[in-house]
Structure formats: C-alpha cells, structure tokens
Amino acid sequence: MTNIKIQGIVDGGVANNERLILQATGIDNIGLYVVFLTRETTPGRISSTPKNSYWFPDQNVKDGDKIVLYTKSGVSSQRANPNGSTTFFYYWGLSSTVFNNSSDTAALLKIEQWEYKTKGS
C-alpha cells in the first residue's frame, strides 16, 4: 500500500524553484520510493523509459507530512510545521530544469524489495 501521493509539480521550467510536492497519507518510509522523470505518451499513459530518477533516503513520515523534491542542488533539511506535521526538503542535484513541457511527467514508485550486483562481485 502506498502512503505517499504526488500533489503536483510547482514552478515547472523555472530554474531554482522547480519542485515536486508529495504528501504522506499514512505512516511510511520514503526510502522505499523512487521518482522517475518520464513523459506522457498519450493521455493516461507514460513512457516506460525514464530519463532520470531520484531514490529518496530512508526517512519515516506520518500522515500530513509533506515531501518537497527540488530539481536543483541543495542540502536536505526538514521543518516542523505548527500543525504538528513536518516538511522534508530534498534536492535532485540536476543542472537544469526538467519539467519544461506539458508531457514531462513525474512517476512515483514504491519498491519494497530489490536486488543488486556490483561489477566486482
């Protein structure tokens, strides 16, 4: 079950302001989520060939928390809100904006299991 939802893309195409806003709808670890930058191919369908990805670091969140992913570089931080929720700020580290066209899309995937292998193993 996913407890993180995409609220929207804000200031798409605007350098240093472009960001993706996510909302926690329950208790979860955002380290289980990856955002893929892709494009909408036809209404309601997206390309399965992502242009870029961002895997969030481990961080427990609760209902009402917000996660803000800026596409620019920066240092991760968090802010306590007056209502008891927390806003977490993350930075993709990209050198240019990525949400420039109406078909540019952020896809959020929850991954609870994965496997990897390094070249040397």
Is the CB of residue 85 less than 8 Å from the CB of residue 13?
no
Q: Say yes or no to pLDDT of 121 above 80.
A: no
For 61-99, write each residue's pLDDT tens digit: 999 999 999 999 999 999 999 999 999 999 999 999 999
Is the CB of residue 37 less than 8 Å from the CB of residue 52?
yes
For 15-61, write each residue's pLDDT tens digit: 999 999 999 999 999 999 999 999 999 888 998 888 899 999 999 99
- What is the set of domains in the chain, with CATH numbers? 4-110 (2.60.40)
